[in-house]
A and B are shown apart, each in its own frame.
Chain A
Amino acid sequence: MRPWHIAVILTLILEAMPACAGDLSIELAPDAKNPPAPQMGDNLSFHSIIRSNGPTAVDGVIAWLSLVQIDPGREQPVDLEDWSAHKAVTAAALHTGETLEADWPLRLIQAGTYRVVVSAASRDGATLATSPFADFIVREKPVVESRRVLPVAFTIPVLIGMAMLWRR
């Protein structure tokens, strides 16, 4: 087995493992009903499970979704305002072994390559817990379709011009 084989296997194992920080671990997975090749206007959903692994209860848990665009030259965090109305979930306390499940719907607004991640913080925790990334690509969809606009934009002035000629 060559060294790069080991690197690839390690990467796959790490990506498959739930991320852990402090006493919380988070799993994140796309919904099975998500379209395989989503385009602008489609809706996606992601499912997260936050689990308390510590010996004591974790108080004041808040989890939220973050979205970043990772296209070369357009790397940026995305304001979720237009993408999702569901931005955070909370729990007063998560006892040992307890889970907090949440669905995160997204409406795809802009074409590009994106990563979503769920983060969780607690009232007393010193570190931030994050899920693995879930990546997706949004295909371009013309916003204003020229095949609809051009016939209208050409035809109506021509028809009115013809009416003027006919009235003359």
Chain B
Amino acid sequence: MPILLIAGKETGELLLSVRGLAWLLVLSVVLSGFGFLLVSDTELSLLDNAQVVYDMAGIITALGCLLALIVGVDTIAGERERGSLVPLLLTTVSRDGILLGKLGGVAVAWVVIYALAAPYLWAVGSTGQNLADGLLGLALLGTPVVLGFGFLGMGLGACLGTARTGLLIGLIVLVLAASPLLLGPSLRQSAVGRAFDAINPFSAAVNAYDAMIIDSLPIAAQVVNLAVTAAWFALALWFARASFHRIAR
């Protein structure tokens, strides 16, 4: 299967090479640093324990989106600059097949991030308060958001001339989307903030984390947030597909 071969190649570059493992090391150091920060804080209450799991779920989602975006841009625009994309386009594999194969690398990287984050979530969620819900929310809502950013990166890499421009635009979009992690609740309660929240997939994910981890609401109550993240995934897939099909050999 050519799609699996492409996915395997992408995954190998991301996870099996020394340079590829470096990002995993940095990721673990970031999560460890967050853990050390929490251990040194003696003022946190039980409520903050749920808050900690929520914060870590948001950080993991943001890191996943960042990785997916960079890999997505590099896998198209970067390969084009290195001259390895054209030979791939000349093979008999369909454009959709190539796109799916390249997404496979992003998806495997996200699975690895998730697996790496699980022990950290377990470690900081010491009381077990809604830890399982946090993991479930991260899987169900984080995954479409992260893979959507992977598609966005591929689309930008395909339709823009250089990887640098694609990365810049993608990072600006990501910073804007991830702003709910930085903005206080009061700013998000304004009319503009609420409107932004309603269409922002990252907001949908963190709002669902908030509801499930802190407020103990069931996943069934997160239908709207799930729909927003699914819509984002579909929109990003459409954008990546349309951009990739327009690449001239």
Q: Which residues of A contact B (CB under 8 A)?
A: 40-41, 82, 107-110, 141-146, 148-154, 156-157, 160-161, 163-164, 167-168
Contacts and interface: CB of A to CB of B under 8 A. Distances in A.
B32 A154 contact: yes
B28 A142 contact: no
Contacts of B126: 142-145, 148
Contact of B46 (A109, A145, A154, A168): A109
A63 B14 CA distance: 62
B69 to A, nearest CB: 22
Closest 7 CB pairs of A and B: A153-B32, A153-B35, A145-B126, A144-B38, A152-B123, A143-B44, A149-B35
Nearest to B129: A41
Interface secondary structure of A, over-half rule: helix
29 contacts: A41-B46, A82-B47, A141-B46, A142-B126, A143-B38, A143-B45, A143-B48, A144-B35, A144-B49, A144-B52, A144-B123, A144-B126, A146-B39, A148-B124, A149-B38, A152-B32, A152-B35, A152-B120, A152-B123, A153-B36, A154-B32, A156-B31, A157-B25, A157-B28, A160-B24, A161-B25, A164-B22, A164-B25, A167-B21
B179 interface: no
B29 A157 contact: yes
A150 B21 contact: no
Contacts of B122: 148, 152
Contacts of B22: 164
A73 to B, nearest CB: 14
B224 interface: no
Given A153-B123, A156-B116, A164 B46 contact: no
Given A148-B126, A152-B123, A153-B123, A160 B28 contact: yes
